[in-house]
Amino acid sequence: MAKDDYSKYSLSRLQTELQEEREMKGMLEESVSDLRRTTSELQDRLHNVDGEGNEWKTRYETQLELNGQLERQISLIQDKLEDIRGNPIDPLAFIRSYDDMTVENLKQHLKLQIKQKTDLQSRLMDRHLQIEQEAKAFHKTNDERRAYLKEIATLSSAHEAQRGKYSS
């Protein structure tokens, strides 16, 4: 997983996300534990039931496959937690983690990075347009301010001239 720039997130948000990840990990570990217990029960039943055909064997193999999927999910979540925590001793550890990723995970990661890049480019363009609009509004307001100041100065000098005529 790529190391995102979390400096833009508040500590409380990161802690909340970490807590959510921990809860998810806990649920998955509990699920894996339940699945392992179920698998063990199914293995016992498989050994006890010889004459019932291949139904239990099929269920057992399906359960093994599900367990493998859950273990991969746990591994991915653990990797994500490690990325969140980071490793201050080895700042390039996240780069080496790509070596351990499967091609499919790398493709998924690339798609995610491309989507994030597109989103960031879109946000950048929106901000650029917003800044241009605000700059135009500022210049218009500034020009109006100068015109008012010029008009005030003209009226003030005319007023002073008229006051000078009447006071003399």
Can you tell me the mean pLDDT for 28-43?
90
| Both tokens assigned to 145 | 């301010």
Comparing 35-39, 122-126, 157-161, the range with the smallest average pLDDT is 157-161
Q: Could you read off the pLDDT of 47-91 as tens digits, one per residue?
A: 766 555 567 678 888 899 999 999 999 998 888 877 766 655 666
The per-residue pLDDT for range 137-161, each reduced to its tens digit, is: 999 999 999 999 999 999 998 888 8
The pLDDT score that the predictor gives to residue 98 is 76
Instruction: Tell me if the pTM is above 0.95.
Output: no
Residue 4 has pLDDT above 70, yes or no: no
Amino acid found at 99: D
DSSP letter string over 26-52?
A: HHHHHHHHHHHHHHHHHHHHHHH-STT
> What are the sequence ranges of the domains in the chain?
6-101, 102-168
Average pLDDT over the chain reads: 84
**pLDDT given at position 1:** 44
